[in-house]
Amino acid sequence: MSCSVTSLSYQARCEAVARVAPCYHDASYTQKGLLLDAVMAATGYTRKHAIGLLNQPPHGKSMIVRPRLPIEVVSSFPS
Residue type, 5: V
For residue 10, the model assigns a pLDDT of 93
Which tens digits make up the pLDDT trace of 12-53?
A: 999 999 999 999 999 999 999 999 999 999 999 999 999 999
| Top-confidence residue, 57 or 8 | 8
Q: Are 45 and 63 in contact (CB under 8 A)?
A: no
The predicted model gives 49-68 an average pLDDT of 82
Residue 4 has pLDDT above 60, yes or no: no
| Top-confidence residue, 24 or 6 | 24
Q: Is 64 helix (H, G, I), strand (E, B) or coil?
A: coil
